[in-house]
Chain A
Amino acid sequence: MHSFSACELHRRFVDGEVSARKIAEDFLNRIRQLDPSLGAYLEIFEARVIEQADRLDCKRRGGEPLGLLAGIPIAIKDNINIKGEKTTCASKFLENFIAPFDATVTRRIREEDGIILGKTNLDEFAMGTTCENSAVQITRNPWDSNLVPGGSSGGSAAAVAADMAPIAFGSDTGGSIRLPASFCGISSFKPTYGRISRYGLVAFGSSLDQIGPMAYSCEDLERIMQVVAVPCEKDSTSLSDPAFSPVSFEERYGSGFRVGVPWQFLEGLPNDTRAIFDRALKSLRSIGADIIEVDLSILQYAVSTYYILCTAEASTNLARFDGIRYGVRSDRAETLDEVYDFSREEGFGDEVKRRIMLGTFVLSSGYQDAYYRKAQKVRQLIINRFNDAFLKCDCIAFPTSLSGAFAFGEKKEPLSLYLEDLYTVGANLTGVPVMALPAGFLPDSRPIGFQLFGQQRHDAELLSIGRAFQSVTEYHTQRPKGMNK
């Protein structure tokens, strides 16, 4: 059961082949069996899951209309609110924080009868590329338990990769969905900025943050997008476009399409990653792609631009964690300043502190012009170059990372970790939709992904290309060894 796709589970449930109770129990069993060693989940809502599954079975027996996600178990990154459940952001600061309201995404999942299994691990406040910054636990890569799952949405990626949920939600500020998806050999989608409401997502870099789904196949991504990509009046940056609706690849691109590749930007790519990337382009050609060159050399400034902007925004977004209303309040504090200082000192991990300090610095008077404002200008230039590139092509192909997942503790230097974001941050700086799809395996069997960036608001078009790609490739059907029980 657990190896079925989300769409398949839904079909079987709706057709009465299998009960929601059975699906729920099957996934809960799988999680009980595998997760103690993987550590993907921070919390599993066992009682709630069974209760909801039974309600769904009743609903179906009574002939009531069933939602688009009926029978589909879903995992949610623990920086997205579920009413009545903890939202810890894998931070000590929020270890006891219970969200009193649903994120829009959560509400939509409920409305369409999705079964929320639990909350998944992440780098603290989604700040990291390996999931090692979680203050709670380590998550292991299902393909090789010595490897990191990638971050920050490492728990969600590992949960999907190990078939502990057919669909999981992550959030992507600079690659936090795509990098772990690629490290874990699954598909993922970061929609156009504003396509999925951020209401109820604990903010990291507000102008870059975007919630997105992870699954093995683009077909499943399309299904979930129909539910969660809707306008939301509680998020001012939410797009007013009508709800996401899949488009037919044949109708849209049957007569061919153009894929841009920024060749000069890919020069540093190791040979084995490059070979996999080239093979992905070949598969794209086989479905009608015309590969052309685009100039995105400006992306050499993307990582520094990104780290100035995301830390600036984060430094203010995380200011609300002050020990006054909720979260950690230090026992040592005797004065107001000590409440702030000690609570934040005790509640936040090193990476979070580093980014708050960096962000405070780049905004401070005397430095703002040289850093924050300059980065805003560069961001605009990057957007302009992407717009130019999209005049020539329908989508742009990138690798997701220089190589596959690495071992725990292998990369400790913050700067070298920041450079892991080289290929991913461009999509966040420009707000364009992007998917990362499985593209093959390195000689040592580590999965590798590649990305396709689409034009603003062409989310459905992009996913249709993803589906076509997956109709001629099989990487997304591979599962980690030792997990198929």
Chain B
Amino acid sequence: MKEHNWEPVIGLEIHAELNTSSKLFSTDCNHFGDEPNTNISEVSVALPGTLPVLNKEAVRKAIQFGLATEGDVQLWSRFERKSYFYPDCPRNYQITQLEFPIVKGGCVSAFVEGEEKTFALNRVQLEDDAGMLKHFSAFAGVDFNRAGVPMIEIVSEACMHSAKEAVAYAQAIRSILDYLDVSDCNMEEGSFRFDVNVSVRKKGETALRTRSEIKNMNSFSNLEQAINFEIARHISLYEASPEEDISKVVDQATFRWDPETGTTILMRTKEDAQDYRYFPDPDLLPLIVTEAEVDAEKEHLPELPLARERRFCQEYGLSTKQSYFFVADRKLADYFEQVVQACGDVKMVCNWIAVEFTGRLKEKGIAIWESGISPKDVGDLICLIRKGAITGKIAKSVADEMVKAPGTSPKSIIKNRPEYQPFQDMDQLKKIVEEVVLENPDTVEAIKNGRDRSFAFLVGQVMKRTKGSAPPAEVNKLLKESMK
């Protein structure tokens, strides 16, 4: 397979549930995880005679997202009925936007393999979610708690050219939603999920070839694998029939991703695609937003990931890569700033959060901000190192303890473990230093002759005898004195 001759073209449709207090068209509670069919009224289950009334909070959140992605917020948009029969869809039509979405255009930046890239959005549309089917041994039930939950569907242009770009794009979108606090973006709960369109073409071609759609994925790794699978499948199809008319090689079809087998599974081909019969919902008036309302949302926008990324570089001197690492996760970035405030040493903070603690927490599968380890404790640990109260080596052991028992302060860990305590008996230290000097005359001689590297050997000897607890600065000083 000559993969380098091919260019994948990828577009994403991301569904993000909005974290409003009530549903998109009713006052029913919008809350995940409750007893089935408790957050419902006559509207959520579409009893005859019920009508939708638009939730303004959802509109505001959609506008915020549009502004945050530099989209064009539409002062006139409208809702359409999208007809299809399925038991989780109580009206048997979804209320969504098609011709006139609330936001058109926009873009997001993401950091992909060492490079900052910008991806274009096509539109953002407001729509309501469906309920959920639950399968039991002899029957299926429907939980309508989710039916009517507001969502924004964020549609990208077909502007991505690798699975990695698609994942970076999706992560950037999630990060913006998180900063705006408009969605919980909880992928396990399904409040952030994506459909992806994939096609490939020969490098240099401008027209798009036939695409596959893979629906309803809710993890970045599934997204990446599914895209790579389809790219490879398309390329192999084209390469297997080089003489064939290119429009006839790949069938336009919709798939789902099966993580078990690592393959895409055909759901339907273009021939049996549904006719959704979109038309404007006569129960709802056109959605009219004033300039003043848009301006009010603009004023209240929080600092967004991109702006924060730029600030982190400027204010803390981070590299773009480091900066993206922190800002991608709002709570991680908050955490970073709190630790910096507590101890002041940006370089050490970067290392201790990004490397030491993140590494230690990997096994637990959680981020530091949700670990129970407070920013103050991390800051204290770094301060202890900087003051020379503990060595880097002991600090690592202390960090192990902090991960094991989150919430325990570094000071109390050190207090309870004598071996972590700094070597405080200076006379004793002096004695040890002198012993080491006496026992290694050759090394001392070498140092005096300019072999600086041998000095580290002597330091190591002292550390060995003090079990690593001697303050390094003091050891250096004493060694130099005793060799004079």
Instruction: Mark A residues whose CB is within 8 Å of B.
Output: 80-81, 87, 89, 94, 97, 99-101, 103, 198-203, 205-207, 233-237, 312-313, 315-316, 319-322, 324-326, 336, 340, 360, 363-365, 368, 372
Contacts and interface: CB of A to CB of B under 8 A. Distances in A.
A320 B91 contact: yes
A365 B277 contact: yes
Given A199-B49, A325-B142, A363-B277, 20 more contacts: A97-B48, A99-B48, A100-B47, A101-B47, A202-B48, A203-B48, A203-B49, A234-B51, A235-B53, A236-B51, A316-B91, A316-B93, A316-B277, A319-B85, A320-B46, A321-B48, A322-B87, A363-B83, A365-B275, A368-B277
B296 interface: no
A126 B358 CA distance: 66
Interface in B179-237: none
B45 A325 contact: yes
A160 B403 CA distance: 80
B440 interface: no
B112 interface: no
A87 B48 contact: yes
A363 B90 contact: no
B49 A200 contact: yes
B344 interface: no
B334 interface: no
A323 B81 CA distance: 20
B42 A101 contact: yes
Given A207-B282, A236-B285, A360-B277, A320 B92 contact: yes
A236 B55 CA distance: 11
25 contacts: A94-B48, A99-B49, A100-B42, A100-B47, A101-B47, A199-B50, A199-B51, A202-B48, A205-B282, A234-B53, A235-B51, A236-B51, A236-B52, A237-B282, A312-B279, A315-B277, A316-B81, A319-B85, A319-B91, A320-B46, A320-B48, A322-B92, A340-B85, A363-B83, A363-B279
Given A87-B48, A97-B48, A319-B91, A236 B85 contact: no
Nearest to A344: B85
Given A316-B81, A336-B87, A364-B277, A233 B53 contact: yes
A207 B45 CA distance: 22
B107 interface: no
B49 A201 contact: yes
A326 B49 CA distance: 14
A319 B284 contact: no
Contacts of B42: 100-101
B279 A198 contact: no
Contacts of B284: 236-237
Contacts of B83: 315-316, 319, 363
Contacts of B47: 99-101, 326
Contacts of B275: 364-365
Interface string B36-68: 000000100111111111100000000000000
A319 B279 CA distance: 14
Contacts of A198: 51
Nearest to B25: A236
Interface of B: 42, 45-54, 81, 83, 85, 87, 90-93, 142, 275, 277, 279, 281-285
Contact of B85 (A312, A322, A368): A322
A237 B277 contact: no
A231 to B, nearest CB: 12
- Interface of chain A, main secondary structure: loop
Contacts of B277: 315-316, 360, 363-365, 368
Contacts of A235: 51, 53
B48 A89 contact: yes
Contacts of B53: 233-236
Contact of A103 (B46, B49, B54): B49
With most chain A CB atoms within 10 A of its CB, the pick from B49, B83, B85, B87 is B49
A335 to B, nearest CB: 12
A312 B45 CA distance: 22
B74 to A, nearest CB: 18
Nearest to B285: A236
A324 B131 CA distance: 13
B162 to A, nearest CB: 34
Given A87-B49, A319-B91, A320-B92, A237 B279 contact: no
A437 to B, nearest CB: 29
A345 to B, nearest CB: 14
B47 to A, nearest CB: 7
Contacts of A206: 281-283
A324 B279 contact: no
A205 B91 CA distance: 15
B87 A324 contact: yes
Contacts of A94: 48
B53 to A, nearest CB: 5
A374 B408 CA distance: 72
B205 to A, nearest CB: 29
Contacts of B142: 324-325
Contacts of A324: 87, 142
Contact of A81 (B46, B49, B54, B92): B49
Contact of B279 (A201, A233, A320, A368): A368
A5 to B, nearest CB: 30
B93 A237 contact: no
Contacts of A368: 277, 279
Contacts of B93: 316, 319
A237 B52 CA distance: 10
A431 B54 CA distance: 22
Given A324-B142, A360-B277, A365-B275, A202 B49 contact: yes
A203 B283 CA distance: 10
A80 B48 CA distance: 9
Among all A-B residue pairs, the 4 with the closest Cβ atoms: A319-B92, A207-B282, A363-B277, A206-B282
A321 to B, nearest CB: 8
Contact of B282 (A200, A233, A313, A325): A313
B54 A236 contact: yes
A364 B85 CA distance: 15
With most chain B CB atoms within 10 A of its CB, the pick from A100, A363, A368 is A363
Contacts of A103: 49
A277 to B, nearest CB: 33
A95 to B, nearest CB: 13
A340 B83 CA distance: 14
A203 to B, nearest CB: 7
A100 B47 CA distance: 9
A416 to B, nearest CB: 28
A87 B53 CA distance: 23
Nearest to A208: B282
A365 B275 CA distance: 7
